[in-house]
Amino acid sequence: MPKRRLISFDWAMKKLLRSKANFEILEGFLSELLRDDIRIQEVLESESNKEDSRDKFNRVDLKVRNQKDEVIVIEVQYERELDFLQRILFSTSKVITEHLQESDPYAEVVKVISVNILYFDLGHGEDYVYHGSTTFRGIHCDDILELSRYQQGAYKKKELYQIFPEYYLIKVNSFDDIAKDSLDEWIYFLKNEEIKDEFKAKGLLQAKDALDIMKLPESERLAYERYQEDLHYQASMLHSSYYFGISKGVEQGRAEGGKEKALEIARNLIDVLDDATIAEKTGLSVEEIARLRQELL
């Protein structure tokens, strides 16, 4: 039996997962990743969610409530881009500024968690899920700076890192396809667009039904297939451009190397032969030999 075809996660984010009826899918994914009970309050229509040529639907900002009843903004991105680390830093900064009113004190800065699903190799490391947070370590005592009791009460945070943005990087292509826990079941789906019958992770049962490609209206199914073809085309163009660039660079290097060798020979002959003869023997122009002679005077 052929495996059941499911819509890729990026297409689901563009279309289905922004609907309140399908919040349970994203809630399941985020709950498994953050090891928390996440409930989506709303999809935020902010500057960060605008459709432009760079961000077009590959990201969604969510206002959520966690198990501690804290309100958090979670930014989910599905990316195939290469200029990435600086971009997520810029993106979280933008979300923070958008959700702080001019009259608000800085204590009202919203907590942002950036969840990034990556389909390219980023950095060097053996794991496939990375978590980044901010800590302050003493350069003399090697201790970790902590919030005072007063600050804990004022900010309603126990740890200092809880104030700053956190980042999750999921390197999908580095996953070995062996699901060892419920989060791995989600990553298996993200990589293979397939949900096995034995998978029990939160949200996957709903995803298996809602993201079934055969349940799409024909117009949407055709649009999805065109989108997949476009991704293949973009990947082919990138591959071709990369190797064309290498070939062109090699040819240019050979040309530049040959010219450098010719100039070296010309320098050795400049005191014993005339410009026309040197040009004939090296392949350089008479003008180039004349300029070289002037430089050596």
pLDDT band at 76 (very low <50, low <70, confident <90, very high): confident
Q: Mean pLDDT, to the nearest integer, of 51-80?
A: 72
Question: Is residue 141 classed as helix, strand or coil in its secondary structure?
Answer: coil
How far is residue 78's CA from residue 65's CA, in Å, rounded to a whole number?
22
Residue 166: what pLDDT?
94
Say what the pLDDT of residue 118 is: 87
Q: Helix (H, G, I), strand (E, B), or coil: what is residue 170?
A: strand
Q: What is the pLDDT of residue 54?
A: 43
Beta-carbon neighbour count of residue 48 at 10 Å?
Answer: 19
Cα dihedral across residues 161, 103, 90, 65: positive or negative: positive
If you search the block for the tokens 């923070």, which residue do you land on?
96
**Least confidently predicted of 2-11, 48-57, 70-79, 207-216:** 48-57
pLDDT score at 265: 78
CB-CB contact of 112 with 48 (8 Å): no
**For the residues 123-131, what does the mean pLDDT come to?**
91
C-alpha span between 285 and 279 (Å, rounded) = 5
Q: Check residue 142 and give its pLDDT.
A: 96
Predicted local confidence at residue 97, as pLDDT: 87
Q: Tell me, what's the pLDDT at 271?
A: 65
Residue 89 corresponds to which amino acid?
Answer: L
pLDDT tens, residue by residue, 229-250: 766 555 555 455 545 554 555 4
The Cα 82–Cα 100 span in angstroms is 30
State phi, psi for 112 to the nearest 5 degrees: -120, 130
The domain ranges of the chain are 9-215, 234-296
State the Cα angle at 34 between 82 and 69, rounded to 5°: 125
* Rounded Cα distance, 26 and 32, in Å: 10
